[in-house]
Amino acid sequence: MANPSILILPGDGIGPEVMAEVRKIIDWFGAKRGLVFDVSEDLIGGAAYDAHGVPLTDEALAKAQTVDAVLLGAVGGPKYDNLDFALKPERGLLRIRKEMDLFSNLRPAQCFDALADFSSLKRDVVAGLDIMIVRELTSGVYFGEPRGIFTEGNERVGINTQRYTESEIARVARSAFELAKRRNNKVCSMEKANVMESGILWREVVQKVHDEEYPEVELSHMYADAGAMQLCRWPKQFDVIVTDNLFGDILSDCAAMLTGSLGMLPSASLGAPMANGRPKALYEPVHGSAPDIAGRGKANPIACILSFAMALRYSFDQGVEADRLERAVETVLAKGLRTADLMGPEGGKPVSTSEMGDAIVAALDADAN
C-alpha cells in the first residue's frame, strides 16, 4: 500500500520557518511511529509570484488535487501590496480553496491551561475552552458576483455580493452536525436573518437539515453580531458554531484571541471525499505571514504543528497520534517554554521557533517511551 501523501506549500514570511518545524514532526512520526508520508513541496503566494509571475501555478494546483492533504504556511506581505488584485498572494490561497472545493473550514479555539492567563478575558471564562467554528469557505461575499469597483456618475462604488445556494448551505451544515456528533452534540448557527435575505435562507436550510437528518443534535440560532458578543461574554456556552464565509472569518479571529495568541490556532479546510474515501483537505495556521518577524526566529510554530495534528485526525484517521501530538504541545507549554508572542507578565523561558519545535519533538520522545 502506498504511503499517504502530503504537499507542503510554505508560502511567504514566517511560513517557511514554521513549516520547517512541522517537517521535524512529520519525520518523527515516520521514524518513531511507523507513519511514513510521501512529502512534496511547491510554491504559493508571493513566493510563487516571484518565481512564476502568478500566486499559484496550474502545476501546483494539480498536485494539490491529487495528494491526501495539503499543508500551507502563510501568504502575503507588504512587498506585494501594489500588485494587480488578480496577482496578489492571497488570490493563490483563494484559488486553491475554490478549485479544490474546500467548503468546510474547521477552526478550533482551544485554550491550553498554561495559557489561560494570556487571554484578555478572565481565567474562569476561558480555562478549558474547546469550541469549533465551522466556516463556509467557497461561497458567500468573497466569491459572489457581481463584484468590483465601478464608476457611477461622478464617483466610484465598490460592490461585493453575498450569495448562497441551498446546497452550499446544506453541505456545510451537515459538516457541522457530523462534527457535533463526535463532540458534545450541540450546534449554534449564526447569520443575520434579521437584515439579510441570505441569512433568512441560511437559517431555513440549516433548520431543515437538522430536522430531517440530525434531530438528535441540539440546534440553536443566533445573529452573528450577538454571537461575537457572546463569544466575549461566555464562550464555553458553545460547542460547534456554523456560519458563513464572512462571519466565520471574523468570529474565528475573535475566538482566536480567547486562547491568548493567533500563533496557537490551527485550521482545516475540507471538501468532498476523494476516491480513497478521504476528503480533499488543506491545513493551515490561522495566523498570517508576519513579515515583520520573518527570518528572526520569533515565529510561533505551534499553530502550524497543530494543523498537522488536525491532518492526522481528519485526513489520516490517526486520532490517537493526533492526541499524542497535542499532548506534547501541552507538555511543552506547561514547562513554561514561550515564543515571543507568548511571553507575558508572568514570564517563562523564551525560545526560538526552532527551539520550540525541538522541544515538542523531545516531548513526543518522552511520551513514546
Catalytic residues: 142, 192, 225, 249, 253
- What's the Cα-to-Cα distance from 313 to each of 41, 175, 265, 283, 331, rounded to whole Å? 22, 15, 16, 11, 20
Ramachandran quadrant class, 290 (left: phi over 0; alpha: psi -120 to 50; beta: rest)? left
The closest alpha carbon to 25, from 298, 357, 287, 330, belongs to 357
- 306 close to 361: Cβ distance less than 8 angstroms: no
Pairwise CA distance, residues 295 & 287, whole Å: 16
- 75 close to 148: Cβ distance less than 8 angstroms: no
Pairwise CA distance, residues 234 & 251, whole Å: 14
Pairwise CA distance, residues 174 & 189, whole Å: 12
Could you give the residue ranges of the DSSP H alpha helices within the chain? 15-33, 46-52, 58-66, 89-99, 123-126, 166-181, 197-213, 224-233, 245-258, 302-314, 319-334, 353-368
Strand partners, 7: 40, 70
Pairwise CA distance, residues 120 & 214, whole Å: 36
- 16 close to 75: Cβ distance less than 8 angstroms: no
Q: State the cell numbers at 31.
A: 521514524
Distance of CA 157 to the CA centre of its chain: 32
